[in-house]
A and B are shown apart, each in its own frame.
Chain A
Amino acid sequence: MENQWFTISVYSENQVGLLNRISGIFLKRHINIESLNVSKSEIENISKFTIVVHTTERWTRHIVSQIEKQVEVIKAFYHRDDETIYQESALFKIASNLLFDERQIQNIIKDSHAQIVTVSREFFVLAKTGRRHEIDEMHQKLEPFGIMQFVRSGRIAVTKTEMRISAMLEEFQHA
């Protein structure tokens, strides 16, 4: 089986130590987490982990069932890229003089639909949201001018299909 990109979505209770438990499942199988994001979800008091891995579907299925087995996890899913709407965000910190001296930079900002978050005397900050390759492209274009700092978030994703978490919580409670 071929390696592919998968987005794993985990709905869980918000509990100290759960991140450790989940990352341990990857560690035990010697699989790298390509990106990780933890946030609240659409359901009150329920957290959502969004984890990206590059591995086989078989391993992804294993990992998902091991994650789901954890007491505090309500449900875990995995999806291929074409089954989700996903994005990442990036911040670029760049010296302010470039904004005025280099015309090129203004074009890059315009073309890439990046936002200027702040401008100070020394630096300005650009925010870019999009697919990984779009952010990479922008990084490539800006790099020759000098990037003072760069950071990119983990992937966040929503699925095209429904996730029945609330119904599941009901079911467990009345089981």
Chain B
Amino acid sequence: MEPVKELKKTTESPKSIRVTGAEAIMHCLIAEGVDVLYGYPGGAIMPVYDELYKFQDDLHHVLTRHEQGAIHSAQGYARVAGKVGVAMATSGPGATNLVTGLADAQIDSTPVVCITGQVPRHLLGSDAFQETDIIGISTPVTKWNYQITRAEEIPDILAKAFFIARSGRPGPVLIDITKNAQFDELDFVYTPCKGVRSYNPAPKTSEDSLRKAAEMINSAKKPYIIYGQGVILGNAEEELTTFVEKTGIPAAWTILGLSAMDSDHPLNVGMVGMHGNYGPNVLTNECDLLLAIGMRFDDRVTGNLETYAKQAKIIHFEIDPAEINKNVEVDLALLGDAKDTLSRLIPLVAKNSHPEWKAEFDKKYEEEYAAVIERDLLPQKEGLTMGEVIAQINKASEHKAVIVTDVGQHQMVACRYAKFKESKSNITSGGLGTMGFALPAAIGAKMGAMEREVVAVIGDGGYQMTIQELGTIFQTKTPVKIVVLNNDFLGMVRQWQELFFDKRYASTIMTNPDFVKIAEGYHIKARRVTERSDLAEAVAEMIASDEAYFLEVKVEKEDNVFPMIPSGASVSDIRLK
């Protein structure tokens, strides 16, 4: 391999070097601290791949088996590492295959930069081979996008792309680069982007608002916190715990807020939302002050808005001004980054405790335990439950694993029962609910935190949406653990059919292949569990494995996830069965 010319030096000294557009992209990625990227080659991006070949000591490119796999891997990486994930694809079908991941990253505020190849500038608009208007297609699902048609644009536009992806409320950025711009030369100098004049990523809460908030908090009798991913994205986990401990306010998580606080913290009272915990949902309509921290009042959290927290004063801690009063009208908005807002608010609030109010959560928990949790975690029946599998994963991993879930019943069960000590440990497709997310996201998650255990928990349906990524795991020898909770159904849809469509199981029965053989076909260690007596030992074996490991658990076919807020109902009307 030929030596790479003046690598890295270029990023340190402002002296320019003459390089091709494709090589400039390498220098930009390195300057932005990218160490791994995910993608798939093709005609319109070949000059870039040629450079990736030369730069392979500095940039680890992971060849996924589908571009959707590439972007979900980049998302998993971004969410665990807290850095910008990078995905690459060719024009036309390569680019369109990224769209689901872009939409997912947009709604879940995940920082990713996607680079797509495009036909040469002189062919734009001619319906050339593999030409597609990816800028037009990706506009509604990106925070920003841009088409580069001249090599000289590359350094500044890529710098801007990374800045926009990671700053403020993070999100996906797509940069489309015509092939001529990859081949042509430019004088390369890299200047990281420090700001864009039309864009104010991080508003700052005024002292006055903070004082008002503190007054409201100090005088509340039944204050309640719901925290979301904003806490994790803002690195405000410590501040949240300090705030909770000082004020003595019970706190519940949204699905994306999960792991921002230690699961075993006595004031961490459970999950809100459609399949959240009983107390946290019902008591939303009994608190006198609701502190919504880094969450966006998604409809799966609020249920019917007409009956949501009407009795309470609401304070919204939020970085994105467009979220204020979007779904729920609030009494006070604390605009800004959660870390900044919380750390300035902590000195203003009084040390307090609310034992009677907290006891209401405990009482509701006991009711839920008796009606639901005990049966899920310590079942007396023959069939295996999803809950007991999650409990075994908790035990074997000592609450230290990153758990990546797909979409469906297993996801809700995992988010209810998985236990975490560390932040950035719960990776799931929350806003978009993208089946097929987990397997590729787990690959990225593992690469984002090689020292951590990463366990993907997936349904038999979603697994088959991106099952080809077993090839990526095999080729890269990435030691992810994969648990398929197989109920031979599209379980969550089947549950709705059972409850709301008189058990008409339209197209939810799955005739599944031999998943163990498939994994073994990729030379991945694999095992199937059908009996409770084998479960603990099999999960322990999986966690102990140094290599990738596939575990299929045959679970009860027609179990339902409870509690449940039927869609359109109030959080107070959550059903325990």
Contact = CB atoms under 8 A, between A and B. Distances in A.
Interface of A: 12-13, 16-17, 20-21, 24, 27-28, 61-62, 65-66, 68-69, 71-74, 169, 171-173, 175
Contacts of A173: 195, 197
B15 interface: no
Interface string B190-205: 0000011111101000
10 contacts: A12-B198, A13-B198, A65-B326, A68-B322, A71-B198, A169-B197, A172-B196, A172-B197, A172-B198, A175-B202
B200 A72 contact: no
B199 A21 contact: no
B264 to A, nearest CB: 38
B199 A71 contact: yes
B139 A66 contact: no
Nearest to A67: B322
A140 B140 CA distance: 41
B42 interface: no
A69 B320 contact: yes
Contacts of A21: 139-140
Contact of A61 (B136, B145, B325): B325
Interface in B532-560: none
A28 B139 CA distance: 12
B135 interface: yes
A20 B141 CA distance: 12
A28 B140 contact: yes
B144 interface: yes
Interface string B305-339: 00000000000000011101110000000000000
A10 to B, nearest CB: 11
Nearest to A73: B198
B143 A71 contact: yes
Contacts of A61: 325
Nearest to B322: A65
Nearest to A23: B139
A9 B140 CA distance: 21
Interface in B183-226: 195-200, 202
Given A17-B147, A65-B322, 9 more contacts: A12-B198, A17-B146, A20-B136, A21-B140, A65-B324, A65-B326, A66-B322, A72-B199, A172-B198
Contacts of B195: 172-173, 175
A62 B198 contact: no
Contacts of A175: 195, 200, 202
Contacts of B199: 71-72, 172
A50 B243 CA distance: 45
A143 B438 CA distance: 64
B380 to A, nearest CB: 49
A100 B414 CA distance: 84
B164 interface: yes
In this complex, the member of B145, B198, B320 whose beta carbon has the largest number of chain A beta carbons within 10 angstroms is B198
Contact of B326 (A24, A28, A62, A73): A62
A65 B326 CA distance: 9
A112 B255 CA distance: 63
Interface in B279-327: 320-322, 324-326
Contacts of B146: 17
Nearest to B199: A71
A62 B164 CA distance: 22
Given A65-B321, A69-B321, A74 B198 contact: yes
A69 B322 contact: yes
Given A65-B321, A66-B322, A71 B196 contact: yes
Nearest to A46: B198
Contacts of A12: 198
Contacts of B325: 61
A9 B321 CA distance: 18
Nearest to A27: B140
B176 to A, nearest CB: 11
A72 B145 CA distance: 11
B518 to A, nearest CB: 39
A12 to B, nearest CB: 7
A175 to B, nearest CB: 6
Nearest to A24: B140
A46 B403 CA distance: 47
A68 B168 CA distance: 14
Given A17-B145, A68-B322, A69-B321, A172 B139 contact: no
Nearest to B164: A71
B157 to A, nearest CB: 12
A71 B320 CA distance: 12
In this complex, the member of B143, B196, B322, B326 whose beta carbon has the largest number of chain A beta carbons within 10 angstroms is B322
Contact of B139 (A20, A69, A73, A171): A20
B136 A71 contact: no
Contacts of B139: 17, 20-21, 24
Contacts of B320: 69
Nearest to A12: B198
B245 to A, nearest CB: 32
A71 B144 contact: yes
A20 B198 CA distance: 18
A17 B135 contact: yes
Nearest to B173: A71
A20 B326 CA distance: 23
Contact of A68 (B143, B164, B202, B321): B321
A15 to B, nearest CB: 8
A12 B198 CA distance: 7
B177 to A, nearest CB: 15
A173 B195 CA distance: 7
A74 to B, nearest CB: 5
B138 to A, nearest CB: 10
A154 B199 CA distance: 28
In this complex, the member of A27, A66, A69, A73 whose beta carbon has the largest number of chain B beta carbons within 10 angstroms is A69
